[in-house]
Amino acid sequence: MVKKFIIGIDLGATNLKIALLDLKYNIRDKRILSTKRFVAKESLISVIIDSIYKIIRDNKLNRANILGIGLGLPGPIDIKQGIVHFFPNIPGWKEVNLRSILGKRLRLPIFLDNDANLMCLAEYRLGRAEGLSNVVCLTLGTGVGGGVVIDKALYRGSTFSSGEIGPRCNCGGIACLEAYIGSHRILKEAKRLFRRDVALEDLSQLARQGNRKALRLWSNVGRHLGVALVGIVNFLNPDAIVIGGGVAGAGKILFDRVRETILKRAMSVPAKQVKVFKAKLGNDAGLIGAAILVKQGVIRHPEAMR
């Protein structure tokens, strides 16, 4: 019997991550490339394809060993048609049938979804929200994305674009949280406060060391995030909110301020019920979610394997 594996891909505005996972979602191999090296759409597609072939070859596998390929992508995706509508933070993508392109080149089952949805799927199935019924997940990095589980099912909306929360950012909207707490906005404010460039990780470390400027900055970020989440808590009444991505590395000061703001501003009953957690699966959540997507997709649509 041929041993099967899944290839998961997590495409962000900063990094392209690709991993080989077994059917229990253990990561067997992982590579990370800089997305910014590949400006043109065609170049990025080519590096995705080349990376897939390389990880298969380096692990002494062949196409028969691969159950499918799952991709988490940073923008609105038509999951039925396999179309990327656009990427807010990566130029040159508009109505691209990525599933068709990859399927023809790779001759493997291809499954696509929004990256935040896949982070949410992973945290709900295997992470901090395991066993809960109603969950909101946020991934806070270069962009800000969200996913929602309602009654134990991932909710995608009528055009598969649910989960976007939030003035104007790169997506063209007018109420986007990214404009306040995206990592670019945080680092711009840090540079103003410290009069030099400060990496996100260093800013988190400064806060843990008690630096007043860093603490004040992260407190403000937590307040903005908490205010945005108040409406979600009131509207959806979730069991938990799970926060991941680089911004979540700020730790206690961020999460304490988020919880404090929700308790202060939201309706008392859902505010007391909801828990706010840091994501458990870290930077691997998107890759694990992509693998779950593949396994679910093959089970539901076995014809994809033909």
What is the model's pLDDT at position 168? 45
When the pLDDT of each residue in the chain is averaged and rounded to a whole number, the result is 91
What is the model's pLDDT at position 175? 47
Helix, coil or strand: residue 135: strand
Q: Which alpha helices (DSSP H) does 68-163 contain, by range?
A: 98-106, 115-126
What is the model's pLDDT at position 160? 78
User: Half-sphere exposure (CA, 13 Å, Cβ side) for 216?
Assistant: 7
Token pair for 195? 């009069």
Better pLDDT: 103 or 160: 103
Helix, coil or strand: residue 83: strand
pLDDT digits (tens, 9 = 90+) for 244-282: 988 999 999 999 999 999 999 999 999 999 999 999 999
Distance CA 196, CA 186 (A): 13
Percent of the chain past pLDDT 90, that is, above it, reads: 75
pTM: 0.89
State the first-to-last Cα distance of the chain, in angstroms, to the nearest integer.
Answer: 17
CB pairs under 8 A, 24+ apart, for 222-225? 222/250, 222/253, 222/254, 222/255, 222/256, 222/257, 222/258, 222/260, 222/261, 223/257, 223/261, 224/177, 224/180, 224/181, 225/138, 225/140, 225/177, 225/181, 225/254, 225/257, 225/258, 225/261
Rg of the chain in Å (alpha carbons): 19
CB distance 241 to 136 below 8 Å: yes
What is the model's pLDDT at position 303? 57
Name the residue among 217, 74, 87 with its Cα closest to residue 144: 74
pLDDT digits (tens, 9 = 90+) for 160-216: 778 776 544 555 554 456 667 888 889 999 999 999 999 999 999 999 999 999 999
Q: Are strands 110-114 and 66-73 parallel, antiparallel or unpaired?
A: parallel
Judged against a pLDDT cut of 90, whether residue 301 lies above it is answered with: no
pLDDT digits (tens, 9 = 90+) for 42-71: 999 999 999 999 999 999 999 999 999 999
Distance CA 27, CA 226 (A): 33
**Mean pLDDT, to the nearest integer, of 128-133?**
96
Q: What angle do CA 295, 300, 301 make, to 5 degrees?
A: 95
What is the model's pLDDT at position 137? 95
Domains parsed from the chain with CATH numbers: 5-117+284-305 (3.30.420.40), 130-279 (3.30.420.40)
What is the model's pLDDT at position 171? 53
Place of tokens 């840090």: 190
Place of tokens 């399927």: 103
pLDDT band at 145 (very low <50, low <70, confident <90, very high): confident
